[in-house]
Structures are given as C-alpha cells and as structure tokens.
Amino acid sequence: MLALIIRRLLQSVMVMLTVALIAFIMFRFVGDPIAQMVGQDTPIADREAMREQLGLNDPAPIQFARFVFNVVQGNFGISYQKGVPVDELILSRLPATLELSFVAALFALVVAIPMGIYTGLYPRRWLSNVFLTVSLLGISLPTFLIGILLILFFGVMLGWLPTYGRGEIVDLGAWTTGLLTESGIRSLLMPAFTLGLFQLTLIMRLVRSEMLEVMRTDYIKFARARGLSNRAVHFGHALKNTLVPVITITGLQLGSIIAFSIITETVFQWPGMGLLIVQAIQFVDIPVMSTYLIVIAFFFVIINMIVDILYHVVDPRLRAETGGKGH
C-alpha cells in the first residue's frame, strides 16, 4: 500500500510538470495581459518594458522553466490582476470550492444510490419512471441554465434563498467555512444542487444498470435459493458488487466537480477557485492560471489514488493479489 502511495505521488509530479508545460505553450493564445494591467495613458515604451520584465516575450519553454524554478523555491508569483501572492490567493479560495464540491458530491451520492437501487430493483414501478424522467432533465439541461432558473425561482420570485455569494463565513484560521452559519448553509443549497445534479443523474443511472445486471447473475439466484431475505440479497450481495464502478465514477467525477465547478461558481458568484480561474483567463493572469492548473492536476492524481485504495477495500480479489507478489 505504501509503495502504491509513493509511486502515485511521484507520478503526480510528472503529471503536474506536463500540465504546466502544456499550459505555458497555450498561454500565448489567450491574449496579452499588459493592456489590462495598465491604464490608457501608459506609453507604449513602458508597456513594452513591462512585457520584457515579465518575460512575456520569451519562448514558452523558457517561461515554463522559470516558473518551475520559482515554484521549487516556493514562489508562485504575484497575481498580475490583484497584486497579491498567488499561493495565498488560491489557498484563500480553496475552502469555498472544496466545501461546495464535497457537499454537491455528498448530495449526489446520498440521493442517487437509493434512487438507483430502487429503479434497479423495481424497474417497472411508476416511481422508477418518474425518477428516470426527472433524471433526464438533469443530464440534458446545461448547468448555467439550471443555475439561472433556480436563482429566478427561489431567489427572485420566492425570495427564499440568497442569489449569490457564500453568505456569512466563519474564519477558522487556515480554513473558512460557511457551514456553521445559517446564511452560509442557505447560500450553499442552490449551488450545491446545481453542481451535483449532473452527477446525481449519472450515478443513479449507473447504479441502476449495475443493479439490473447483478440481479440476473447466478449467485443472486443461489442466494435466493438459500432462502436469504430480500434485504440480505439486495444489500448484502447485490449492492456491494455494484459499487466498484460507482466508486470509480464518483472518484473521477469528484475531480471534475472540483476542477469544473467553474460554471456554477460563475453563475452564483461563489468565491472559489472556479471563479478565480475564469477571471484569471479573462485577464490573462498567467501566474494564477499556471498555479491553478498544477493544483488541479494534483487533485486529480490524489483522487485517483484514493479510488485505487478504495478498490482494495471493496474488492477482496485485489487484496489477495497485492497481498501476494503484485501483478
């Protein structure tokens, strides 16, 4: 297990370096930050000097090397846009995004798995059809539209929920949380629902089809023949075997929830990393963009690692293999 973790961490460094390199090659197509860093009265010569000082005229590999060199020394640079250190900026936005993502993922799992089991066990009941129809909406409506419709309905027309932001947050030192105040939780509801809806649909459909598949297998028939109760068959035998693909998908999706909460955060002005990166792209804030990308790459690697470890927990066959001499 330890070997696996170390191997994965080493891989993560490679992944992050590759992502950063590709990013620097692409930055040249994003535009020029200088026009937005200075006012209209700034002379052309000064603009050119800034471009030179920032190294924007250098070839991408050199910019990349300089970035890596600085990062290794713990210096992520200063945001072009906001004038504050990038690592601090990202760390201050991280809690908002992680809270939103985890609540959204939790919501998706808690709702989707029971719905998936139900529709899988009783595919012909009317409630199953309702679930499936509703879930079609979740998969076919674009996120920004769902977000705006929610804002319109619950925020503007009914006035029940806040339309933007994170509400009151509590500062715990290294972490800020909105989960401890009423306005923070109320602010979280609509963004979390919006972000989780697609995952909910996906997981529900996955559990359903796995469940249908498993219920047809021989060992379920044997289990029934042994006279086990429905409950024991469904949850003890069937569900456990549907979970491996669910864990894989959930893990991968958690990564994309964190990385691509961009749209939800933009619609709800949620002060997380997604909003930060959107603004950074519009501004061509290269230090923020590059740091964000390697942080996200790191998340993906870590999540994949956790998924791998969970496989071992859920699937005893894998345990037996690694317990022996590996592959």
78 DSSP β-pair partners? 85
Q: What is the bridge-based pairing of β-strands 176-177 and 170-171?
A: antiparallel
Q: What is the dihedral of CA 285, 289, 291, 294, to 10 degrees?
A: -170
Residues 6 or more apart whose Cβ sits within 8 Å of residue 297: 12, 15, 16, 19
Closest CA to 298 of 10, 100, 1: 10
Tokens of 313: 């927990």
Residue with Cβ nearer another protein (83 or 324): 83
Residue with Cβ nearer another protein (77 or 116): 77
Task: With H, G, I as helix, E, B as strand and everything else as coil, classify residue 204.
Answer: helix
Q: For residues 99 and 105, give the distance between their C-alpha atoms in angstroms, rounded to a whole number.
A: 10
Q: Do 84 and 91 meet the contact criterion of CB atoms below 8 Å apart?
A: no
Residue with Cβ nearer another protein (45 or 225): 45
Residue with Cβ nearer another protein (2 or 44): 44
Q: For residues 118 and 219, give the distance between their C-alpha atoms in angstroms, rounded to a whole number.
A: 20
Q: Do 199 and 112 meet the contact criterion of CB atoms below 8 Å apart?
A: yes
Residue with Cβ nearer another protein (48 or 213): 48
Neighbours of 211 (CB within 10 A): 22
Residue with Cβ nearer another protein (145 or 313): 145
Task: With H, G, I as helix, E, B as strand and everything else as coil, classify residue 85.
Answer: strand
Residue with Cβ nearer another protein (39 or 326): 39
Neighbours of 319 (CB within 10 A): 13
Task: With H, G, I as helix, E, B as strand and everything else as coil, classify residue 114.
Answer: helix
| Least distance (Å) between residue 187 CB and another protein | 10
Question: Which residue bears the tokens 């939780």?
Answer: 185
Q: For residues 64 and 22, give the distance between their C-alpha atoms in angstroms, rounded to a whole number.
A: 9
| Least distance (Å) between residue 101 CB and another protein | 18
Residue with Cβ nearer another protein (77 or 138): 77
| Least distance (Å) between residue 162 CB and another protein | 6
| Residues that bind another protein in the complex, under the rule CB under 8 A | 30-33, 35-45, 48, 50, 53-54, 75, 77-78, 80-85, 89, 92, 148, 151-152, 155-156, 159, 162-165, 171, 266-269, 271, 275-276, 278-279, 282-284
